[in-house]
Amino acid sequence: MSTATPTRAPEQDDTSGQQPGDGRVGGGLFDPKQLVTSLPDALRKLNPRVMVKSPVMFVVEVGSVLTTIFACLSPSDWFGWAIAVWLWLTVIFANLAEAVAEGRGKAQADTLRKAKTDTVARRLNGTDEEQVPGTELRVGDLVVCEAGDIIPGDGDVVEGVASVDESAITGESAPVIRESGGDRCAVTGGTKVLSDRIVIKITTKPGETFIDRMINLVEGAARQKTPNEIALNILLASLTIVFLLAVVTLQPFAIYAGAEQPMIVLLALLVCLIPTTIGALLSAIGIAGMDRLVQRNVLAMSGRAVEAAGDVSTLLLDKTGTITYGNRRAAEFVPVPGADETELADAAQLSSLSDETPEGRSVVELAREKYALREGEFNADTLTGAEWIPFTAQTRMSGVDVDGRKIRKGASGSVLAWVQERGGEATEDARQLADTISQAGGTPLLVALEDESGPRVLGVIHLKDVVKDGMRERFVELRKMGIKTVMITGDNPLTAKAIAEEAGVDDFLAEATPEDKMALIKREQAGGKLVAMTGDGTNDAPALAQADVGVAMNTGTS
């Protein structure tokens, strides 16, 4: 598996731990602790069935064994022991460099396992609750989850309704409603409850959960060799055979000349003639390149990934957190006909002052930046006499009652129903505005106000997953390099198309599951193309493992 991992965008570089004066972060991959940890794997690679995959180093290993045997037959021959030691060090060094790279590549599966084993569940035992590790849950167990809790296992909601953040699993930033009954009761282990309280019935056996399937996909992924690797292996194998034949023919000539050579000398000569240095240092050179990258805040988990990146012809990009910022942000305030835009912005900001979600903070900031409303340190704590209405999964709206005004902000159906219950009229214009924003790939939040003029809808807050600055220009550069870009997202096709057009990618795959991503990569690879995949969510891990180059973005949703 080859994986390169930019830890943050260049403009967000963390300067902590930098070397004085050079702008680089300290440390690298040549960590003594990492070398000691990888040594057992390097020794296991001495298995001939593993070494035979590298003809050069396999010949060196055979020479090491024979040299050791001859040295044992002549214990006083220091020259034989010196040759044996150097040959073994050469083989172990080559394996150690590769073991370091592979050891870092195992981090994806280990991270998934940690997410599974660290979760604590509140299991119901009659009327009492008991805390147990998530791995001890069995089919039929009932667990309680409240706001802020991590759901410990796959199951169905049997009591209550809640808003759930599934971004760590799906990669999509918008929370979803999960409630008992119907087709919205299924929940996935590893997701986070944002509001309310739900009771979940576990429906999967240990080892069969979503995260377990992700681990199996990661560990079962296989990477194809790059054309450069194939060509170099053929060259090294050919040179090894040529020099092996040359050394074999030397002994008959030496015997004929009366100068028979010891086998240890011939073995040492063979190792010197064949491209041992290239074979042994291939992994080490990759590690050195990885060490240079890590000083630039880019963590490359395999030297092969660095080499393969130059031959990539297809780049797959997860949308949320990679192409977009990963959190929906307020883009504009759209008033209904007859309403004032400033009044809408004022009401939207007031209703969001106590909302600490990224969406709520973006509404406050947009009103401040565009309309200069409540600038400075003004917040929910400084607004006196206000009664805050928190968001719940049942009402699907929040708001504030202050100064004789009642303001509500939330889902279209909920806000319109609130206006009608208060004796107001839910205008068709509000529905059309909400539908238009939805069709464009955005999320509409209606804002309603009740004052001395009565209840009415003021307009819509347009939330959108904002495309990162400069993405279109970067895709143009990739296109000039002959690299095809494909956006992958769990969004519906309509939303995916809108964002793909805004970002400027060549193609997109909507409503994609982890299996769909794997299938797309394998189809591209079957056509002889080298594929790079970028992603940031747990659901991207199998695709990152299968791709020739996996780029794990650490600035997105997970």
Which residues fall within 8 angstroms of residue 195, CB to CB, at 6 or more apart? 147, 162, 163, 390, 391, 392, 393
Q: What is the CA radius of gyration of the chain?
A: 31
User: How far apart are the C-alpha atoms of 251 and 266, rounded to whole Å?
Assistant: 8
Would you name the residues annotated as active-site residues? 318
- Please report, as a single letter, which amino acid is at residue 31: D
- Exposed (0-12), middle (13-18) or buried (19+): which is 221, by Cβ within 10 Å? buried
323 contacts 503 by C-beta, under 8 angstroms: yes
Helix (H, G, I), strand (E, B) or coil at 396: coil
557 contacts 166 by C-beta, under 8 angstroms: no
* Range list of H helices, 106-226: 107-117, 167-170, 210-220
8 contacts 554 by C-beta, under 8 angstroms: yes
Helix (H, G, I), strand (E, B) or coil at 404: coil
Given strand 387-389, what is the order of strands in its sheet?
324-335, 454-467, 443-451, 405-410, 397-402, 387-389
26 contacts 18 by C-beta, under 8 angstroms: yes
Which residues fall within 8 angstroms of residue 422, CB to CB, at 6 or more apart? 406, 450, 454, 455
What are the angstrom distances between the C-alpha of 373 and each of 93, 146, 345, 351, 481?
65, 35, 8, 13, 46
